[in-house]
Chain A
Amino acid sequence: GQNIDQPTEMTATEGAIVQINCTYQTSGFNGLFWYQQHAGEAPTFLSYNVLDGLEEKGRFSSFLSRSKGYSYLLLKELQMKDSASYLCAVRDGGSTLGRLYFGRGTQLTVWP
């Protein structure tokens, strides 16, 4: 089966740094995605990792360790608008290439 775990909720203050962890156990692996979803809106793509290591994109960075089945999303210089749900998703491989398995999402609240 497929299992993707991430914390349900996190809080942080403006200007701070927050790390959202994601662990996964899937039968196949062909990349890990992070999406941001504001309440009532569609998920928007943040990052993609397929090789081990850190991918940096502005205030957001994402890390992947395939051997540990682990990823994190790092958000720096937090702003109020970063309050949203952050979804970790794993792309399956092999015959189910293209299918994404999503975690339940981490609701991040940024306080002033």
Chain B
Amino acid sequence: KAGVTQTPRYLIKTRGQQVTLSCSPISGHRSVSWYQQTPGQGLQFLFEYFSETQRNKGNFPGRFSGRQFSNSRSEMNVSTLELGDSALYLCASSHETGNYEQYFGPGTRLTVT
């Protein structure tokens, strides 16, 4: 089985722009979670989608949004980028929501200048 894939792997944007990141889960996995990883804050939960519905949301401003498609692929969008949004954005998929381990993708490294 192919693992979780994320595109693009690297991205450079300027302040004020918006960005869309994509995640394709492992085949058969219906739950997709997004995390932000920074050296200062570690891994922080952004949101989780299951069957095209947002199930959980972390403590991030409304500039961070996401969606999930019928094929379980997910996108996250960040509008009005700020310097502090520079981070590694990780997507993780699991078979179901709940008591199942999550498998992480390689991440998208976003740099905001």
Stretch at the interface among B61-69, B76-84, B95-103: B95-103
Number of interface residues of B (CB under 8 A): 25
Residues of chain B within 8 A of A101, CB atoms compared: 45
Beta-carbon contact of B43 and A99 below 8 Å: no
- Chain A residues numbered 71-96 whose CB sits less than 8 Å from any CB in chain B: 87, 89, 91, 96
Bound-state CA distance A43–B33 (Å) is 13
A102 to B97, CA, bound (A): 17
* Residue B56, interface by CB 8 Å: yes
CB distance from A55 to the nearest CB of B (A): 12
Would B104 and A44 count as touching, CB distance under 8 A?
yes
A-B Cβ contacts below 8 A, count: 60
Distance A48 CA – B98 CA, assembled complex (angstroms) = 13
Q: Given known contacts A98-B31, A103-B42, is B55 in contact with A45 (CB within 8 Å)?
A: no
B72 CB to closest chain A CB (Å) equals 15
Tell me the smallest distance from the CB of A38 to a CB of chain B, in Å. Answer: 11
- Shortest C-beta distance, A76 to chain B (Å), equals 22
A102 adjacent to B102 (CB under 8 Å): no
Query: Complex: how many Å from CA A50 to CA B100?
Result: 11
User: Which of A42, A98, A103, A105 is close to B104, meaning CB atoms less than 8 Å apart?
Assistant: A42
Q: Is B105's beta carbon under 8 Å from chain A?
A: yes
Given A97-B98, A98-B98, A45-B56 contact (CB < 8 Å): no
Tell me, in angstroms, the Cα distance from A89 to B47 when the chains sit together.
16
In the bound assembly, the distance between CA atoms of A91 and B55 in angstroms comes to: 14
Q: Which residues of A are at the interface with B, using a C-beta cutoff of 8 A?
A: 30-31, 33, 35, 41-45, 48, 50, 87, 89, 91, 96-105
Q: List 28 A-B contacts (CB under 8 A).
A: A30-B98, A33-B101, A33-B102, A35-B104, A42-B90, A43-B104, A45-B102, A45-B103, A50-B99, A87-B42, A87-B43, A91-B99, A96-B56, A97-B98, A98-B55, A98-B56, A98-B97, A99-B45, A99-B58, A100-B33, A100-B35, A100-B102, A101-B45, A102-B42, A102-B44, A103-B42, A105-B42, A105-B43
